[in-house]
Amino acid sequence: MPFDVLYGVFEALFESRSPPWHTSKALSFVATEAVLVLESWIDAIGRARARGGAADRSIDAYDELPVVDIARQLDRFASSVSAGDAQARLGVLRRRLQDLS
């Protein structure tokens, strides 16, 4: 499944806050999973750049990577995750997004 589609699912779940995704524990889970997808997406972009191009649809979507929108969404995710490790991962992800733009 393309990264942009998968990320969009988690973002929609987070934003809708519809049951069963309305509790703080569920929102933290969704935010954490979305961060994992973003980390994998950025890793795939890096590998594609190292090879000089994208070999499959999941990383060919780099041009569609909405860096500014994702950076804003990370701020919303940060309000739902409290663990220090998760907050640290969000910080690393923000820096990696800045490096892509």
The answer to whether 6 and 35 have CB atoms below 8 angstroms apart is: no
d(CA 56, CA 52): 13
Total count of domains within the chain? 1
The tens digit of pLDDT for each residue in 9-68 reads 999 999 999 999 999 889 989 998 998 999 998 888 888 777 776 555 555 555 567 888
Helices within 1-101 (DSSP H only)? 3-16, 24-51, 57-60, 67-78, 84-100
Domain span holding position 25: 3-100
pLDDT at 55: 52
Sign of the CA dihedral running 90, 12, 6, 42: negative
pLDDT at 20: 95
pLDDT at 12: 96
* 25 phi-psi bin (left φ>0, alpha ψ -120 to 50, beta other): alpha
Which residue in 94, 91, 79, 96 sits closest to 17, CA to CA? 79
